[in-house]
A and B are shown apart, each in its own frame.
Chain A
Amino acid sequence: MKPATFEYHRPTALSEACDLLAELEGAELMAGNQSLGIIMANRLATPDHIVDINGIDELAGVAVDEETVSVGALTRHRDIERSDTLREACPMLPHAAEQIAGPAVRNMGTLGGSIGEADPAGNYPCCAVALEADLQLVSAEGERCVSAADYFIAYMFTDLGEAELIRGIEIDRAPFPPERTGMAFLEQKAAAQTWPTISAATAIRVDGSEAADPIVEEARVALANASDVPLRVGAAEEAVEGAPLSEATLATAAAAAIDAARPEGEMHADEEYKEELAGEYTRRSLQQSHDRATATAPEVTP
């Protein structure tokens, strides 16, 4: 089908977009248009106005300084995937980006679109929760900052107001010194370009000792599609913290993930299977983060 009639707006400044959202009744934002276009063509969504933000250059881009990683909402998956600065400072994001759908989707889809859609199976929502990212939300009223932990409320339901748009995300670099931190984003999916059944975003920081088995100082674990929101698994983090990584601590972490997971059964994967995957992918992802944290050579762009 073709979409129902709508009025199209293409602001070129952020303030202009905010004014349009404040003014218009029944407006929907369009970024990379990799989800909205489909549900509009099916007439599941019939917004009266589309505010296309692709012309707002200030919303796109990656900036990394000593304290903070900042990624603009309009940054494409492809640019996140190819960013050497992100691969050095916050490799979880490129790892998550490179596994999203196929190349055509990655060329257009955006970070902000994924976080705005808030599909619990989405990659970036899971990363944002694992990394304790802050989200910058702007409107004609001004700007506010919401932690990812508070932003995702229910299935595709967020703290984003009707007249707000996501400007970008910021991640504090202090917990993730690159020389002793490893990150991983592992997806299980039935086919290359589909949504994942379960994903596990993890990070591990080891102590600075030269020991062969360094102590895990801090771990992060978040799962996608294991609940109605991205699921942070604190018990899995605690299971591996404070000791060198071992089969035993990984097994405890996996059990914690299985315990925390509240997945919805799907046609190809029932609840029990998804819980099992949540455990196994937590284990594998933590192992991979640990291998990267303790590797001597820095990661390179594939």
Chain B
Amino acid sequence: MMEFSGSFTSSHSPETLWAYFTDPAILEEIGPGVKSMELVTPAEIDAVLSVGVGSIKPTFDVDVTVTRTERPGLLEMQIGGEAARNSFEAVAVMTLTETDNGNTTCTWEATTNVSGLLASLGGRALRSVTEKLVTDFFEDMEAVVEEGRPAESTLEAKADAEATLEE
């Protein structure tokens, strides 16, 4: 089990950001390594994403379930990914906290089990690349919000869902 975390400061309010973080079209465009994304229900997404380290770039079939939302402050998802000889499962939580000057501190935490070839690279390598990908994601998100593009909040939590990860 590996844990990753980080934070990012946005110059927009949590309420503004919330729409962007819960708009599947925006997530499809800037999600790390996302090739395609489909909304199955408002709480479930199927996606194909290709992420990797060096020349090792597995393509994952990913299921995302939104397990908890507290608009506009908290978004929790359970994510499972399968690729040839690689798989992962993760629980990711993002919190948006308004600061005194109206900005937002976005903090994220992910707990994950990775198995297969990527796991053999070791935790340090995965952490290094994950943090880079997530930072890029928040920076790209900030740019989209800056552009003033409209966003529509579509995602909602699945009823009675609970995020769990095998020990």
Known contacts A44-B117, A264-B122: A39-B56 contact under CB 8 Å: yes
Q: Is the interface of A mostly helix, strand, loop or mixed?
A: loop
Sample of 9 more A-B contacts, CB < 8 Å, known A44-B56, A46-B84: A44-B117, A45-B55, A154-B128, A155-B124, A155-B129, A156-B53, A157-B53, A157-B128, A228-B124
Known contacts A154-B131, A264-B122, A264-B124: A39-B55 contact under CB 8 Å: yes
A: interface residue count bin: 20 to 34
Contacts from A to B (Cβ < 8 Å): 28, 35-36, 39-40, 43-47, 117-119, 153-157, 228, 264
Contacts from B to A (Cβ < 8 Å): 53-57, 84-85, 117, 121-122, 124-125, 128-129, 131-132
Q: Do residues B125 and A155 form an inter-chain contact, with CB atoms below 8 A?
A: yes
Which chain A residues lie closer than 8 Å to B85 at the CB level?
A: 43
Which chain A residues lie closer than 8 Å to B132 at the CB level?
A: 153-154, 157
How far is the CB of A178 from the nearest CB of chain B, in Å? 36
Residue of B nearest to A26 (CB): B57
Which chain A residues lie closer than 8 Å to B117 at the CB level?
A: 44
Q: Do residues B128 and A228 form an inter-chain contact, with CB atoms below 8 A?
A: yes
Tell me the bound Cα distance from A40 to B124 in angstroms: 23
Q: Sample 11 A-B pairs with CB under 8 A, ordered by A number.
A: A39-B55, A40-B55, A45-B55, A46-B84, A119-B54, A154-B131, A154-B132, A155-B129, A156-B54, A228-B124, A264-B122
Which chain B residues lie closer than 8 Å to A28 at the CB level?
A: 55
Q: Do residues B54 and A117 form an inter-chain contact, with CB atoms below 8 A?
A: yes
